[in-house]
Structure 1
């Protein structure tokens, strides 16, 4: 009995340590949202993935606002308004949260085809469409904000000003 009694506290301590490590990993994995840096109006997570930033008064960053506009000009026809999905294509607001950013970029750029007995899903390639590719981060952060519920349906009411760096990157991408 003394052996068991002495082993029990060590086992409980080990379980607590494992639970603590798992919680830290879950928190790290789950936090692909929080803006850790701002570079000329572009917000990034700690690992450099584009994200949104919303001020306490509801003002959204420029990319989120632009993403709303670009999504509704290019993506909503298949994926439904505000990233909600449709009978034709999935809810991209969920994809922006569940899918790795680089996988998201790959699918939009190169397209994807999943056709088998269980599904028939075809996403065309938008790699040559400058109206998508020049604004891909904008669309992604907008969908991420929608997916977390940080931005409600509809056009964001308040937005940050467009920075000179964003304006120049847009002009460069569009060849202007």
Structure 2
């Protein structure tokens, strides 16, 4: 079973696999991979997750999430989800909020006192890659990937390419 959300009248499914974990104590269900499908990885409950091999190769969505995060999110939230003087760190948001909570905040936005996260529900540059961004931040929050551009990545699968093309139009 995998988690699927309909975005901009297109149903997108996404996901990601298990890292060589740092010495951080976390619930194994957050990162253990139960299913891999066409370059996407999922936990047992169908939540997108990441895959990092022993040599540091990341799955395509984690790599894409790095790129998309830095194209759309880092302007406010700082490089690698570390925060800025303008907006809070979000590298733990994928873990703290879970997939559905993260999805809800990005799509609908949120106000917290004077802090306002705008909604991105109609921004294809975010919505077509929301699972990618989620998976990247999840890997960052678990310290599974270091700061900076991942050095090695899996190839983009044909299915991921087709889904991206369909979403972006």
Equivalent residue of 2:57, what SS?
Answer: coil
Deviation at 1:71, TM superposition (A): 0.3
Structure 1 or 2: more strand by fraction: 2
Q: Deviations over 1:22-70 (max 9, x none)?
A: xxxxx99552222211010000011001000001111000000000000
> What's the counterpart of residue 74 of structure 1?
72
Unmatched tracts of structure 2, length 5 or more = 1-24
Q: Deviations over 1:103-128 (max 9, x none)?
A: 1001000111122xxxx210000001
TM-score (norm 2): 0.82
Once the two structures are overlaid, the 10-residue window that deviates more, 149-158 or 86-95, is: 86-95
Aligned residues: 145
| Consecutive aligned runs of 4 or more in structure 1 exceeding 6 Å deviation | none
CA RMSD of aligned residues (A): 1.4
Aligned counterparts of 2:27 and 2:147: Cα–Cα separation in 1: 26
> What's the counterpart of residue 84 of structure 2?
86
Of the three residues 114, 139, 143, the one matched with 2:137 is 143
Structure 1 or 2: more helix by fraction: 1
Residues 1:173 and 2:167 aligned together: yes
Aligned counterparts of 1:42 and 1:156: Cα–Cα separation in 2: 17
TM-score (norm 1): 0.79
> What's the counterpart of residue 126 of structure 1?
120
